Amino acid sequence: MKTKFSGILTLLLAFVVQFTFAQEKTISGTISDESGMPLPGVNIVVKGTANGTQSDFDGNYSITANVGNVLVFSYVGLKTIEQTVGAANTINVTMQEDAAVLDEVVVTAQGIKREKQALGYAVSEVASESLEQRSEGDIARVLSGKASGVRIQQQSGVSGSGTSVIIRGFNSFSGSNQPLFIVNGVPFASDTNAQGNFVNGNNGSSRFLDLDPNTIENVQVLKGLAAATLYGTDGRNGVILITTKAGSSGQTGAKKTEITVSSSLFLNEIASIPDYQNEYGGGFDQAFGWFFSNWGPAFKKEGPGGWGNSSAFDANGTLPHPYSTASSATGIPQAFPEYAGARYEWRPYDGVKDFFRTGVVKNTNVNVQSASDDGKMSYNVSYGNLEDQGFTPGNTLRRSTFGLGGRAELTNNFTASATLNYSRTDFTSPPVAASYGSNVSGTNASVYGNLFYTPRSVDLMGLPYQNPVTGESVYYRQNNSIQHPLWTVNNAGNSQLTNRVYGNLQLTYKINENLNLMYQLGIDVYSENNVNYANKGGKTGSQANRDGRYQTWNNLSTLNDHNINLTGNYDINDDFYVSFAVGATSKRTVYDRNGVTSTGQQVFNVLRHFNFAEQNEIQFFNERNLLGIYGQAEVGFQKALYLTLSGRKDWVSNLAPDNRSIFYPSASLSFVPSKVIDALAESEAVNYLKLRAGYGTSANFPTGYPISSTLILNTQTFQDGEGVDVVSNTTGAQLGNLNLKPERIDELEFGVEGRFFKNRVTLDASIYSRKTKDLIIDRPLDPSTGYTTTQTNIGEIQNDGIEIDLGIDVFKSDANGFNWNASFNWSTSEAIVNDLGLDTDIVVYEGFTNLGNAAIVGKSLGTMVGTAIARDDNGNFRVNAAGSYVTENGLNVIGDANPDFVMNWVNSFSYKNFNLGFLANWTEGGDLFSYGIATPLGRGVVTQKGIDRQNSFILPGVNPAGQPNTTQINNSTYYFSNVLYGPDEMLVYDATVFRLQELSLGYDFPAKVLEKTPFGSINVTFSAYNLWYYAPNIPSVTNFDPNVAGLGVGNGRGFEFLNGPSSKRYGLSIKASF
Amino acid sequence: MKKINNLIKLVLFCGVVLLSSCETTNVDITKNPNALTPDQANPDFFLNSVQVNFAFFVEGFGRTGSQMTRIDYMSGRDYTNAFSPTSFDGRWSSAYRGMLLDLKTMNSLAEESGLTHHIAMGQVMQSYILMTLVDFFGDIPYTEALLGGENLNPASDSGESVYAAAITLLDSAIANFNDTALADPELDFFYDGDWDKWIKAANTLKMKAYMATRLVDGSAIASFNSIVTSGNYIASTADDFQFNWGKNVLQPDTRHPAYSASYTTTGGGRYMSNSLMDYMAGTDPDAYSSPSRFDIRTLFYFYRQVSQTPGIGGEPADEEVLECGLINPPPHYAGYTYCGVPKGWWGRDHGNDNGIPPDGFLRTLNGVYPAGGTLDDLSYDPQVNGDGNGGAGITPIMLASWTKFMIAETLMVAGDAPTAKTTMFEGINMSIDKVINFSPKTDRYNSIFGTADGGPALALESDYIDWFNADLSAEWDAGSTSDKWDILSMQYFVAMFGNGTDAYNFYRRTGYPTTLQPNIEPTPGGFIRSFFYPANYTNTNSNATQKSGVDIQVFWDTNPASPGFPVAN
């Protein structure tokens, strides 16, 4: 590690272009803010001259001046300070916040910089301090909880698994609801290319994983449509604006070359393992058997449940070894002669816990930045390396990133800047697919699908998992029908190796003081090499999977974005100013998939296509062009009232000519009463107040080729009598719809921003109402129409929500004193389906056709449907003659996955050089249909508190005769046939959860200690992720963490099919700059 | 001036970039490159697709029909919930989105090119599809179906009118077969281009339709008999209408679906019906060692992986793999087989929904007929994929033996039991003959039931057939009319092993047999007189309404309501 580190250092030193030494006597000093933190980027000007400079990263500055000169220190949002130069050569300055001014400048849509107070819509910002040195390498997961109204959900705790980002709730159930990522001003592909569907396995990373959070300077979240109109259709779900350190070069004007190195080491553990019981072992109905279930005899001899009652055991309570009694057709007795006559000990084994490991997460980052003396040329180089070992054996994520950015202000009024980034992300995982708590349900294997319900009496880690002769999976079940999870880890897997290059080129020409012309090119190309393999000898999934399968394919995604715009700024008079922007943009996306599926492995464990009997093609191609023109005008009055009007028109390539384009406008108003109302301006209580209103619109275009009908050709439909393949064609399932048009989204937003009580309390609140009309949906059709799906425009969804950000400086003292800042963000959103069109009242849009999310008129989007417990006319549960619930078939509402609200509580404490922070999350409500919860219960590997297995249950309800049910059922019938395999409704749990999402404790080495070292600063931080959670309405023995998304990154919510547990992480990181 | 120059430079630069990538600005990309377009269709390819899908369709509904009539095992103690609406989504989609739309599209191409035999084959399959959908669901979309965007919510037509349309299609098919085609189909999976046989098949399907509707159509039996008189129907096994499956495992999987479900590396995936095995093994628990109405087809239909059934017939029980062997039969099972049939015929009782013990290499599997599995030659070896005939079985659609049973039914209705008996035995022996000659026998089989290697070790195959005929004949003669109906129907069901669609129709039409094993649940609710509509129909079509229950009777079923009819339920 050490040699590697010094190697990197040497490399980076080569980038150092020049050191500047002051030749003359200067005045120098340090500029800090009220909390004592150094302030970089403060402008220092000798009053009345052109002589000026900026403070560097550590807040240091130096400037040549004569005694008697006045130095003017100014910084956006802080009070300007004037200091007269005296005899001293050092002038240290502490700058105070100026709430009255707050001319904070933010980057808005299309890179247009505007004063924050002029904005009529909400913008959330997250700075690098909240993003760096985290144990999660996924930028979205790091953002979780840090901005109101942004909901982040991981697919699972698998390192490198997908992540869903939803801003202000769902607006559509067929189109994507994921936001647009803009990195350094240009679009950034953030797709999740899952390797299949959730049934057969959907491993695959979300491509913002290619961003290293440590290289990010800041993140801004544009939530509303008024904010995002200029981004066009892609901005309809909100925009995540990311500025990387490479992209921000030149903006701080740092003079000194600075190198920052950080290195972290975290441990990664499974967070959600059931609390297994150790009283009973495998079997059913208290009888022993090599079952999937754990409803067998007790581990003690005596008592009605003891093993002494079963003839399967000998006097010592041992069993014939399962490998000696397996059917000869499994080959197990022949392959393991050593177990002939062997006995197997009847006792609990802690196999599931031992199956998982503690993963090690290593992270190294180096950042170099520098600028020329005059600040007109600057560059930034960054390197990052992440090695994230999952808690599941076989799961790792490796990522290397390089970034290079530079900026030059030329003498001929041109400014050129560019960034270029390269990333290499390598994700590997054992297969993960849906399981119903009884093997997998799809065609592939799943590492979790046969794991969590392992009977306690099964020695998961001790039983050999591989047939030494054939290599096939072996396990305890007598017909060998369960694939050993260790075999899965060692013989099947998915990987996704992504090489990606993205960057931008920007050329600005300053026509005059008022006008700028800008051209920007964005490129983003990634090549995703996917592998899905299974050696032959597996016991689950399709025949092809069992015979050995090897799939390799490449996804080549290309995104080209051109953008040209003219911006202007005119002060009409002292009161009025006008600014405007007009521009045109084109965005071309091409997605090209090519590969091969091979089946029929010949030699075991050789994974090359030549070693397989059959090959089949994998090919898919999608391209779409989008052209847009946009314009925006802003009028400001007395820096207190602002009106912004904007609009955009888009053309898309995959619709019929008549429906190809759409125009959509927006308008917003900002009013700052604290500037004009004297009472407020003079008030101690109200330091700043802004009211805003915005009306925004956007459009959504379909993806794919929705207007064309297709014909499917299959060259291997069947074989004729001679074994020759038969070619067939069949009409495509999708009905092309020439009349498809873009959908239109309208949003009204009101907000208030303020600072109160000497700026100790800050508030930012928004309320919005959004309507999506003419929704583009994949409408399922009755096959009797001849088709099973069509894209069409129907209906209306209304999404209302509230977001509140409240910050309080509970304790505020000088730099080294005790400070405590607590901030809350609270948000809620609910999308209601107002209308689904004239001829349908329900559309099941995710999951299975009979179990999934459905859009139902009058119900929340996120409503879950499935089979329910049948009720009689009085609403009583119906119980059948056997004593179990009667199932009501059809699409019954069984839950709503949409949480009531989400609240985050961010705390930061600092005292002297220590700082402590934590982020706690409270998600209230939202339902979860979960096999991860029901399976341990239904399979009897856990025992709920207060339940005696030998007692019987009587389900509440009425029997077939209409009388109160009195039929007793035993424990296994209750849990197995009702809790696990009863009506779907029985598997729905309330997913309310309290979570300690982040915890960090940091220490900054004092400047005195560092004086004689080359280091400018050293910081050591302990941090942890998901250390604790509590889900009060989920059976506590299952210890289930509801932060999972079983259906993958998409529009499905509230379903979980043993798709993988969550993780917790903790560790140390060191950051040093010099 | 310099500024202007720079501006020009910038504009030029941008222009070059934009123009050099004019593919960026093309806003007309609507054709899907991932598939063909409909105008590239080929009638032969359509017909290939339809034939293969038709085989799966017939096999699928045939299995459901078998499950209802105890030819196969059904899991579900409650008839209302035994088959969820979604379980038919695939077949509904395959019927309409697949076969019927493909045929409609093919027909317009075929008509232009004079491909009358393509059209005729399609019409025969279409008529079978329509009749089957009506048989299982009742009223279905027909006249408003397949209109694409013109009608996204097709209303249903009465089952009666769809049946009438199906018969018209068969008449039209016969005319088209008689026509000279400009080109014949590339592939005919059923009769390899023998159009005379196709005409027989079409006529026999008309007989099936008349038979199905005989309760509601006074002239049906006369129409039926006029075809019988013509002689132009499937009267010989050589004319059997059936689909042949292959042995290829992957890409494509051509194996018989019952084979691929049962012959796996982890053992059997389906249970056989105790009810049918019990009937076929005869009235003596020792079956073939002291045969009493022992049916030799038992060894061809079923493959036993073990020679004894634990807990049954005096064998020690085994709680690990056949728990019910330890338990007394429920009271309503008095007189019926329970849990398993002695001597290794290890299946499940009607309605049993217990969890699955590790019995994959112990339970009875599908045999050599019709699934292409293994012939039971008393060797009791556990079977895996590749064993036996490797899945090269058949799905019967309409067999000569079945037409004999249909004729026997008309004779029973007419009160002519003696001729019915003769006709029934013709059917039985056609079936036995077909089954025992379905594929080459093993040496072991021949040494036990033939003259090879000094055999027979037990008795000759032909002896068993003779004894069986004699026993059954005596049973018939001794029985009442109702008993005769029971014998006729049970033997019809046995002959239909592999496709129970007509068995399900027969059971609802006649109420026979009255002797079928009841559901293991004493109160399973009324028998399924028609199934819930598929979920992808009722959930997406605003003109479709799901049924209130499974007791709704199809148009030709004028029998008393469920429960109470059929008697065995």
In this prediction the ipTM stands at 0.93
Whether residues B37 and A720 touch (CB distance < 8 A) is answered with no
CA-CA distances (angstroms) from residue B105 to B99, B143, B151? 10, 16, 17
**Cα A652 to chain centroid, rounded:** 28
Give B427 to chain A, closest Cα distance, Å.
28
Task: Please compute the mean of the pLDDT values over residues A485-498 and round it to a whole number.
Answer: 96
Classify residue A269 by burial, with Cβ atoms within 10 Å: 0-12, 13-18, 19+.
Answer: middle
Give the type of residue at A123: V
Q: How many CB atoms lie within 10 A of CB A205?
A: 29
Task: Please compute the mean of the pLDDT values over residues A431-437 and round it to a whole number.
Answer: 92
Question: Residue B527's closest CA among B138, B137, B79, B136?
Answer: B79
Give A557 to chain B, closest Cα distance, Å.
15
How many helices (H) and strands (E) in chain B?
A: 19, 6
Among the partner residues B17, B41, B95, nearest to A521 by beta-carbon distance: B17
Report the C-alpha gap between A316 and A813 in whole angstroms. 71
Mutate to test the interface with B, among A478, A509, A564, A785 (most CBs of B within 10 A): A785
Among the partner residues B23, B29, B189, nearest to A654 by beta-carbon distance: B29
Classify residue A750 by burial, with Cβ atoms within 10 Å: 0-12, 13-18, 19+.
Answer: middle
DSSP string of B447-488? HHHSSGGG--SS--HHHHHHHHHHHHHHHHHHS-HHHHHHHH
B93 has a chain A CB within 8 A of its CB: yes
Report the C-alpha gap between B95 and A156 in whole angstroms. 39
B548 has a chain A CB within 8 A of its CB: no
**What are the chain B neighbours of A614 within 8 Å (beta carbons)?**
250-251
CA-CA distances (angstroms) from residue A787 to A173, A790, A794, B9, B498? 20, 8, 18, 55, 30
Say if strands A180-183 and A239-244 run parallel, antiparallel, or are unpaired: parallel
Maximum Cα–Cα distance across chain A: 105
In sign, the C-alpha dihedral spanning A58, A63, A69, A74 is negative
Question: Residue A229's closest CA among A793, A683, A648, A766?
Answer: A648
**What are the chain A neighbours of B140 within 8 Å (beta carbons)?**
784
B78 has a chain A CB within 8 A of its CB: yes
Give B475 to chain A, closest Cα distance, Å.
38
| Residue A21: band (very low, low, confident or very high) from pLDDT cuts 50, 70, 90 | very low
Whether residues A727 and B384 touch (CB distance < 8 A) is answered with no
Classify residue B108 by burial, with Cβ atoms within 10 Å: 0-12, 13-18, 19+.
Answer: exposed
Give B29 to chain A, closest Cα distance, Å.
5
Whether residues A653 and B30 touch (CB distance < 8 A) is answered with yes
**B520 DSSP assignment:** S
A604-656 per-position pLDDT tens digit: 999 999 999 999 999 999 999 999 999 999 999 988 999 999 999 999 999 99
Whether residues B140 and A784 touch (CB distance < 8 A) is answered with yes
**What are the chain B neighbours of A651 within 8 Å (beta carbons)?**
27
B254 has a chain A CB within 8 A of its CB: yes
* 3-class DSSP assignment, residue A153: strand
| Residue A5: band (very low, low, confident or very high) from pLDDT cuts 50, 70, 90 | very low
Range scoring the smallest mean pLDDT among B230-234, B236-240, B355-359 = B355-359
Q: How many CB atoms lie within 10 A of CB A375?
A: 18
Report the C-alpha gap between B228 and B226 in whole angstroms. 5
**Cα A53 to chain centroid, rounded:** 41
Among the partner residues A285, A327, A653, nearest to B29 by beta-carbon distance: A653
| Residue B227: band (very low, low, confident or very high) from pLDDT cuts 50, 70, 90 | very high
Task: Please compute the mean of the pLDDT values over residues A666-671 and round it to a whole number.
Answer: 94
Give A284 to chain B, closest Cα distance, Å.
9
Residue with the two structure tokens 């026998």: B441
A254 pLDDT exceeds 70? no
CB-based contacts of B332, cutoff 8 Å, min separation 6: B518, B522
Residues 477-506 of B with CB under 8 A from A: none
Question: Residue B529's closest CA among B167, B134, B70, B140?
Answer: B134
Question: Residue A383's closest CA among A424, A444, A322, A354?
Answer: A424
A140 pLDDT exceeds 50? yes
B1 pLDDT exceeds 60? no
Report the C-alpha gap between B309 and B315 in whole angstroms. 7
Whether residues B34 and A293 touch (CB distance < 8 A) is answered with no
Instruction: Write phi, then psi, for A103 (nearest 5 degrees).
Output: -80, 55
CB B305 within 8 Å of CB B379: no
- Say what the pLDDT of residue A77 is: 65
Q: In terms of pLDDT, which residue wins out, A10 or A291? A: A291
* 3-class DSSP assignment, residue A285: coil
- Say what the pLDDT of residue A90 is: 83
Say if strands B241-244 and B394-398 run parallel, antiparallel, or are unpaired: antiparallel
The C-alpha torsion from A766 through A767 and A773 to A778, rounded to 10°, is 70
Give A465 to chain B, closest Cα distance, Å.
15
Give B312 to chain A, closest Cα distance, Å.
18
Count contacts between A and B (CB, < 8 Å): 334
CA-CA distances (angstroms) from residue A19 to A15, A376, A465, B84? 11, 16, 62, 77
B20 has a chain A CB within 8 A of its CB: no
Report the C-alpha gap between A709 and A1063 in whole angstroms. 45
A1037-1061 per-position pLDDT tens digit: 999 999 888 888 888 999 999 989 9
A230-239 per-position pLDDT tens digit: 888 889 999 9
**What are the chain B neighbours of A609 within 8 Å (beta carbons)?**
none
**Cα A407 to chain centroid, rounded:** 31
**B96 DSSP assignment:** I
**What are the chain B neighbours of A735 within 8 Å (beta carbons)?**
148-149
Q: Which residues of B11-43 are buried (b: 16+ CB within 10 A; e: fewer)?
A: eeebeebbeeeeebeebebbebeebbeeeebbb
- Say what the pLDDT of residue A1045 is: 84
Give B52 to chain A, closest Cα distance, Å.
7
B384 has a chain A CB within 8 A of its CB: yes
A389-429 per-position pLDDT tens digit: 999 999 999 999 999 999 998 888 899 999 999 999 999 99
- Say what the pLDDT of residue B11 is: 60
CB-based contacts of A218, cutoff 8 Å, min separation 6: A125, A126, A127, A128, A242, A243, A248
SS (H, E, C) B168-181: HHHHHHHHHHHCCC
Report the C-alpha gap between A382 and A364 in whole angstroms. 11
**A224 DSSP assignment:** S
Mutate to test the interface with A, among B97, B520, B536 (most CBs of A within 10 A): B97
**What are the chain B neighbours of A414 within 8 Å (beta carbons)?**
6, 10
**What are the chain A neighbours of B146 within 8 Å (beta carbons)?**
784-786
| Residue B80: band (very low, low, confident or very high) from pLDDT cuts 50, 70, 90 | confident
Task: Please compute the mean of the pLDDT values over residues B430-456 and round it to a whole number.
Answer: 92
| Residue A14: band (very low, low, confident or very high) from pLDDT cuts 50, 70, 90 | very low
- Say what the pLDDT of residue A1035 is: 96
Report the C-alpha gap between B202 and B200 in whole angstroms. 5
Nearest CA in chain A to B264: A543
Residue with the two structure tokens 């590690």: A1
Report the C-alpha gap between A786 and B99 in whole angstroms. 9
* 3-class DSSP assignment, residue A1060: coil
Task: Please compute the mean of the pLDDT values over residues A790-800 and round it to a whole number.
Answer: 90
Task: Please compute the mean of the pLDDT values over residues A65-93 and round it to a whole number.
Answer: 79
Range scoring the smallest mean pLDDT among A243-247, A713-717, B117-121, B388-392 = A243-247
Whether residues A624 and B254 touch (CB distance < 8 A) is answered with no
Helix axes B195-212, B220-230, angle to 10 degrees: 160
B41 has a chain A CB within 8 A of its CB: yes
Say if strands A70-74 and A105-107 run parallel, antiparallel, or are unpaired: unpaired
Whether residues B31 and A708 touch (CB distance < 8 A) is answered with yes
Whether residues A285 and B323 touch (CB distance < 8 A) is answered with yes
- Say what the pLDDT of residue A256 is: 66
Question: Residue B216's closest CA among B505, B556, B502?
Answer: B556
**What are the chain A neighbours of B257 within 8 Å (beta carbons)?**
none
Q: In terms of pLDDT, which residue wins out, B88 or A251? A: B88
Whether residues B7 and A312 touch (CB distance < 8 A) is answered with no
CB-based contacts of A387, cutoff 8 Å, min separation 6: A360, A361, A362, A363, A396, A397, A398
A17 pLDDT exceeds 80? no
Whether residues A288 and B319 touch (CB distance < 8 A) is answered with yes
Give B212 to chain A, closest Cα distance, Å.
24
Cis previous bond, B563, omega within 30: yes
Give the type of residue at A354: D
Give B278 to chain A, closest Cα distance, Å.
26
CA-CA distances (angstroms) from residue A248 to A245, A404, A883? 5, 11, 68
B534-544 per-position pLDDT tens digit: 999 998 898 99
A74 pLDDT exceeds 90? no
Question: Residue B104's closest CA among B46, B53, B152, B144?
Answer: B46
* 3-class DSSP assignment, residue B444: helix
Terminal Cα-to-Cα distance of chain A (whole angstroms): 19
Give the type of residue at B91: R
Whether residues B358 and A481 touch (CB distance < 8 A) is answered with yes
Tell me how long chain B is: 569
Among the partner residues B3, B384, B536, nearest to A849 by beta-carbon distance: B536
Q: How many CB atoms lie within 10 A of CB A1032?
A: 9
**What are the chain A neighbours of B93 within 8 Å (beta carbons)?**
783, 788
Mutate to test the interface with B, among A782, A841, A885, A981 (most CBs of B within 10 A): A782
B348 pLDDT exceeds 60? yes
B9 pLDDT exceeds 70? no
- Say what the pLDDT of residue B12 is: 56
**What are the chain B neighbours of A783 within 8 Å (beta carbons)?**
92-93, 95-97, 536-537
A7 pLDDT exceeds 50? no
* Helices within B349-460 (DSSP H only): 400-413, 417-436, 443-449
- pTM of the entire structure? 0.89
**What are the chain B neighbours of A478 within 8 Å (beta carbons)?**
320-321, 358-359, 361
A437 pLDDT exceeds 60? yes
Task: Please compute the mean of the pLDDT values over residues A113-118 and round it to a whole number.
Answer: 82
Task: Kindly state the percentage of chain A with pLDDT values over 70.
Answer: 95
